[in-house]
Amino acid sequence: MVENDRWGTLLAHLILIIGVAIVVFPVYVALIASTHAPGTFLQGVMPLLPGSHAIENYSTVIFEGRSNAGAPPIGLMLWNSFVMAMMIAVGKIAISLLSAFAIVYFRFRFRIFFFWIIFITLMLPVEVRIVPTYQVVANLGMLNSYWGLSIPLIASATATFLFRQFFMTVPEEMLEAARVDGAGPLKFFKDILLPLSVTNIAAMFVIMFIYGWNQYLWPLLVTNDEAYYTVVMGIQRMVTGADSEPLWHLVMATVVLAALPPILVILFMQRLFVKGLTETEK
């Protein structure tokens, strides 16, 4: 029995190692490619050892960009992506917390109906309603702005549903105790529900930040000013926007830098993220 458990453990670890290798290898290839000269890739061979042009390549994408492909320096694009992702993540969490709070703790007619109306919007992502959404944003004069990049993506039925399910697990005695102490709805929300929701908020923040960071189609439509290009748009332009062959060493350097902010967010909030997804008892 012990021998079987040992072999089972070894097999499980072997599968995990293979899975990690499959996931990490493309990242390793991008990192290695970003350290080589452009002529390396014209030979048709992908090197697997670091090159000697890392500082040169990263300096180019950070301070110069690639003007002939319409890609400004990556610093500006990283900032635009960060602002957009933060606005989307914070906006989604704020709106979802308030809507879930109203649905769970306020008794009004058709509240379940309104909840299901919100939930049904899961079937209407921005790609489905992109034409009327673009028209509204254009009519409001929000093209080429952070508001135009973020506001149409802020509402979230997923976050509303998850916060609603969490609030339903909070003991009713807490609400009754707050009423006895003279706490109103907003004080109960601020002093009791929000502290209890920290791990769930962290989990949703990580998910929504990455969602906002990876947006491509919507920024591509509402932005034609280089001052508002996001890093995902910059990568696409570096690959397809140039008259010559893509400079893959610069593309890979941009990809590596673009992956750093989401990775840092996950690393710094890993414990809260896992706890928020697995915690059920209050």
pLDDT digits (tens, 9 = 90+) for 124-164: 788 788 888 899 999 998 899 999 999 988 877 888 888 88
Each residue of 54-89: pLDDT tens digit? 888 888 888 776 655 556 788 888 999 999 999 999
Contact 208, 195 (CB under 8 A): no
| Per-residue pLDDT, 19 | 92
Contact 100, 164 (CB under 8 A): yes
| Per-residue pLDDT, 42 | 67
Structure tokens at 135: 């028209």
CA–CA separation, 205 and 183 (whole Å): 28
Contact 205, 276 (CB under 8 A): no
pTM of the model: 0.84
Q: Which distant-in-sequence residues (6+ apart) come within 8 Å of 106 by Cβ?
A: 185
Q: Is residue 269 pLDDT above 80, yes or no?
A: yes
CA–CA separation, 144 and 149 (whole Å): 8
CA–CA separation, 8 and 14 (whole Å): 10
